[in-house]
């Protein structure tokens, strides 16, 4: 008999989830499309004045990406819950937080990373000063995994609900507030020539903490909601 190690189990899960995303690669671009649509709406509503747009561009990009990530959260466990594979995952002999951590990592790779990739385009559409772009990307690189990790805990609580969209938004909002404040705040600080390192470091500290704690919380929440 051959028992897999924890690492090989996580690898199998990562491989499967990546394969599933690949098979449905059309759907994978939906969050990106959504973020682009939101960003396009703002100049239409506010007017094309470049200076005005530039002043609020970082905030708009973050809100658009946050909303797109929120939209994508629903897919994290829904499919697995509907076809019974979530149950099998919980029954696996490997630590559930580790497996869920891998799932969240894949989810970030397939939703968060494309959003970061498209962020320079969004920033350019809103006339964000070039000098702020590196700060924006750094803040996104730290903030989007946080959004995925916090979101996963809330999704785990709403697993099995038929229409959880609005409730999920309500649950994640208070958790997203600090992330949004620090991430957008770093960009705004950079844009007005202030020190922007502190908020980025706070985000990094939060990410380090969340990487450890969020999968544990996610597993605990999942056990509550599948019982």
Binding site for other proteins (CB under 8 A): 1-4, 8-9, 11-13, 15-16, 19-20, 23-24, 79, 82-85, 87-94, 99, 153-154, 157-158, 161, 164, 167, 170-171, 173-175, 177-178, 181-182, 185, 188-189, 194, 199, 217, 220-221, 224-227
- The nearest distance, CB 213 to other proteins, in angstroms, is 9
- The nearest distance, CB 32 to other proteins, in angstroms, is 21
Q: Which residue has the tokens 């964000």?
A: 128
CA distance 119 to 32: 9
Residue 156 · residue 135 · CB < 8 Å: no
3-state secondary structure of 94: coil
CA distance 182 to 199: 5
User: Which residues, in sequence order, are CB contacts of 211 under 8 Å at separation 6+?
Assistant: 101, 145, 149
CB neighbourhood size of 49 (10 A): 11
Nearer to other proteins, 140 or 157 (CB): 157
- The nearest distance, CB 64 to other proteins, in angstroms, is 19
CA distance 203 to 143: 7
- The nearest distance, CB 223 to other proteins, in angstroms, is 9
Nearer to other proteins, 47 or 84 (CB): 84
Nearer to other proteins, 34 or 182 (CB): 182
- The nearest distance, CB 51 to other proteins, in angstroms, is 19
CA distance 81 to 108: 19
């Amino acid at each position: 008999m051959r028992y897999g190690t924890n690492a090989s189990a996580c690898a199998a899960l990562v491989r499967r989830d990546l394969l599933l995303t690949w098979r449905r690669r059309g759907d994978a671009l939906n969050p990106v499309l959504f973020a682009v649509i939101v960003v396009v709406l703002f100049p239409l509503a506010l007017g094309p004045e470049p200076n005005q747009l530039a002043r609020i561009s970082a905030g708009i990009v973050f809100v658009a990406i946050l909303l797109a990530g929120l939209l994508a959260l629903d897919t994290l466990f829904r499919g697995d819950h509907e076809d019974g594979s979530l149950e099998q995952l919980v029954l696996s002999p490997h630590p559930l937080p580790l497996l869920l951590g891998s799932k969240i990592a894949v989810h970030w790779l397939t939703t968060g990373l494309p959003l970061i990739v498209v962020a320079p385009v969004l920033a350019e559409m809103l006339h964000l000063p070039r000098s702020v772009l590196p700060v924006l990307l750094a803040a996104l690189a730290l903030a989007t995994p946080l959004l995925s990790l916090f979101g996963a805990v809330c999704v785990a609580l709403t697993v099995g609900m038929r229409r959880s969209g609005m409730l999920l938004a309500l649950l994640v909002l208070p958790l997203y507030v600090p992330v949004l404040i620090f991430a957008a705040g770093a960009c705004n600080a950079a844009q007005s020539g202030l020190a922007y390192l502190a908020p980025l470091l706070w985000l990094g500290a939060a990410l380090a903490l969340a990487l450890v704690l969020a999968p544990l919380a996610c597993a605990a929440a999942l056990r509550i909601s599948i019982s």
